[in-house]
Amino acid sequence: MVGWSVNLLGLRVFVSCIGLVGNLFLILSIIQTNFSQIKSFEVFLLGLAAANLVDIVIVNIYDIIIFQTSSTTTTGSWLCHSLKFLTVFGEITSILFTVLISIFRYLKLRDTDKRVNLPICLDSVRSAWTVSGVCVMLSTLVSLPIFVINLQDPAENVTRSSSGCPPDFFQCSKNDCPILNRFYKYLFILVCNLLPLIIVTVTGCLIITVLLSQMKTVTPAVSGSSQFGRKSKSLRRQRSTIAVLAAMVLFQVDWTLYLIFQLTFSPTDFPFWAEMQFFVSTSYTSISPYVYGIGNNLFSLNNFIKK
């Protein structure tokens, strides 16, 4: 058991470092651009990377406190609630920005033959910042009930002491579970996990459908620099779209496993609940910045040299 704990701790540190480096580098790659030239898609990536950082940092702090309080000291309820609020806030914000990116990419690809170079509503940087602010506000509102959740320590639970932070904030006794805990848990799973997963899945299928239809379309021949410029722009957009699709697949796999894990296992029956929840929920936030960065040429050698 001790050997497993040490190995899991080392793996946690490794995954966390990968996530911290990737998200920090993505943020630096975006903010080095003159803000007068920043694009709406980069605004969404900036919000996603910032949310990922919050999630990775806070979830590690929270789990460290769980480990410490399970063996040594006690932790106040206010601190537990605050850290869990930030953890949930980071997760939801990351999810909402992923949904926003998938919808934005679909709108950009849809009806390109009719729209040509005309912008969509989200192309405006002001609109992008506004929608990003709405995502942050929604994440805050959905996370606020954490402060009124009743912390319970079921008698059969052996994963923590009665005065520490629970590995699962929704946990409660099977014989005495407050309605608020149960209601918030399933509402949270439905609205913040299942619904975004459905939206991302449907949007991904629509993007693939649009790409397939565009491949069948024969474009009229143009000559000279116009043809070269159009081809170069098309290749960049195609590479970016592939990166978005890859990140969406990663998102689907990650949060599907998260749903299965939440609905199947219990912290009272699984000794490594906190570790498994960490790896499932953090894999997307750690890997996605590399997918987006490489696909959108933000993780190029030139950018690395500049850093």
d(CA 23, CA 73): 33
* pLDDT exceeds 60 at position 227: no
* pLDDT exceeds 80 at position 158: no
* pLDDT exceeds 60 at position 228: no
* pLDDT exceeds 90 at position 116: no
Angle, alpha carbons 147-140-179 (nearest 5°) = 40
d(CA 193, CA 166): 21
d(CA 274, CA 280): 10
Q: Where does the pLDDT of residue 161 fall: very low under 50, low under 70, confident under 90, or very high at 90 and above?
A: very low
Output the CA torsion sign for 243, 13, 69, 172.
Answer: positive
Output the CA torsion sign for 79, 80, 81, 82.
Answer: positive
Residue predicted with more confidence, 217 or 208: 208
Closest CA to 84 of 102, 59, 60: 59
Using left for φ > 0, alpha for ψ between -120 and 50, and beta otherwise, residue 111 falls in left
Q: Where does the pLDDT of residue 2 fall: very low under 50, low under 70, confident under 90, or very high at 90 and above?
A: very low
Phi, psi of 270 (to 5 degrees): -125, 110
137-155 tens-digit pLDDT: 999 999 998 888 776 554 4
Q: Where does the pLDDT of residue 232 fall: very low under 50, low under 70, confident under 90, or very high at 90 and above?
A: low
Mean pLDDT, the chain, rounded, equals 78
Amino acid at 227: Q
Position 20 scores a pLDDT of 93
Q: Where does the pLDDT of residue 216 fall: very low under 50, low under 70, confident under 90, or very high at 90 and above?
A: confident
Enumerate the domain spans of the chain.
16-215+232-306
Q: Write down how long the chain is.
A: 307
Residue predicted with more confidence, 160 or 243: 243
User: 74-78, 95-99, 289-293: lowest mean pLDDT where?
Assistant: 74-78
Position 159 scores a pLDDT of 41
**Mean pLDDT of the 16-44 span:** 86
Position 235 scores a pLDDT of 74
Position 53 scores a pLDDT of 93
Chain centroid to Cα 208, Å, comes to 22
Three-state DSSP state, 283: helix
Residue with tokens 């996603």: 48
Three-state DSSP state, 22: helix
170-186 tens-digit pLDDT: 666 556 667 777 788 88
Q: What number of other Cβ atoms are within 10 A of residue 4's Cβ?
A: 11
246-260 tens-digit pLDDT: 999 999 999 998 888
Position 281 scores a pLDDT of 79
d(CA 26, CA 273): 30
Position 136 scores a pLDDT of 95
Position 12 scores a pLDDT of 80
Q: Where are the alpha helices (DSSP H) in the chain?
A: 2-31, 40-69, 77-109, 112-115, 125-143, 179-188, 195-216, 224-264, 273-295, 301-306
* pLDDT exceeds 70 at position 202: yes
**Mean pLDDT of the 63-92 span:** 72
Closest CA to 102 of 21, 188, 199: 199
Q: Where does the pLDDT of residue 59 fall: very low under 50, low under 70, confident under 90, or very high at 90 and above?
A: confident
Instruction: Output b/e per residue, 48-78; b: 16+ Cβ within 10 A.
Output: bbbbbbbbbbbbbebbebbbebbeeeebeee
User: Spelled out in words, what is the top-level CATH class assigned to the domain 16-215+232-306?
Assistant: mainly alpha
Closest CA to 85 of 59, 67, 106, 65: 59
**Mean pLDDT of the 32-59 span:** 87
* pLDDT exceeds 90 at position 99: yes
Three-state DSSP state, 299: coil
pTM of this prediction? 0.84
Q: Considering the chain, what percentage of its residues have pLDDT values greater than 90?
A: 31
Task: Decide if 167 contacts 267 (C-beta within 8 A).
Answer: yes
Position 274 scores a pLDDT of 67
d(CA 257, CA 246): 17
